[in-house]
Amino acid sequence: MWEELKRLLQLQEMDDELSSLERAKVELPKRIQALEERIKEASQKLDDGKAILEELKRKKRHSELELRDAEAGLKELQEKVYEIKTNKEYDALQSETGSKKEEISNSEEEILTLMSQIEETEEEIEKQEGEFATISQESGAELEAQKRELATLEEKIAIKQGERKNIVVRVSRKNLSTYERISKGKDGLAVVRIRKGACGGCFKSLPPQKLQEIRRKDRLITCENCGRILVWDQED
């Protein structure tokens, strides 16, 4: 009977491994997606920063062009002063000159503001590049490992299923039926070891007499509390 109990224990361990692999089959794609999204978000953040920088530089170039045009316009107005013949023409020229000077001042202020924004954005991009490099290195390595694991998962499951069949064929129909019934009702945990005088499934302490019966390993005994098959492992 001890050989039968050992096979049931092996079957339980095999089913535990298969359950773990099946869970990984569900979880790995989620982890892969999360890692890909993390890398994508970091990349997008960097791209957005670069786009903002390019737009600021475009605005600065535009403002510089406007400044040059305004300065050229002011120079032309200043040269016209020698052509003035009446007070009315002089007042008009002064008004135009004042407007042009204000335009120049506004352009200069805009350029200074843009230069400050460009500097801040360049510093932020430098920071983002460092973050992206770190995320790409760390998450990228983990991503490749997870993809390799997923690629070999089906093969691992197939191997374990084959090993399980080799165990099942050596278990009696009656005991296998009992195992499967208990497993179905106990979330896949049908066989448990005795641990410190208690059931390894529900952790309820067992009376000395029951422990002695289990220790003899001459029949299949279940826990009176949770119904799982109890096994006194040789290592205990």
As a whole number, mean pLDDT of residues 170-189 equals 94
Contact 232, 214 (CB under 8 A): yes
Task: Please state the rounded mean pLDDT for residues 178-189.
Answer: 94
pLDDT for 9-56, tens place per residue?
999 999 999 999 999 999 999 999 999 999 999 999 999 999 999 999
Q: Does domain 21-171 have CATH number 1.10.287.1490?
A: yes
Listed by start position, the domains of the chain span: 21-171, 174-231
pTM confidence score = 0.65
Q: Is the pLDDT of residue 236 over 70?
A: no
Contact present, 163 and 11 (Cβ < 8 Å): no
CB burial string 136-168: b at 16+ within 10 A, e below: eeebeeebeebeeebeeeeeebeebeeebeebe
- Find the helix packing angle between 2-79 and 87-168, rounded to 10°: 170
Structure tokens at 67: 């400044």
Q: Smallest Cα–Cα separation from 68: which of 96, 102, 30, 107? A: 107
Half-sphere exposure of 4 (CA within 13 A, CB side): 16
Q: 95-111: per-residue pLDDT in tens? A: 999 999 999 999 999 99
Q: What's the rounded Cα separation, in Å, for the pair 56 and 100?
A: 24
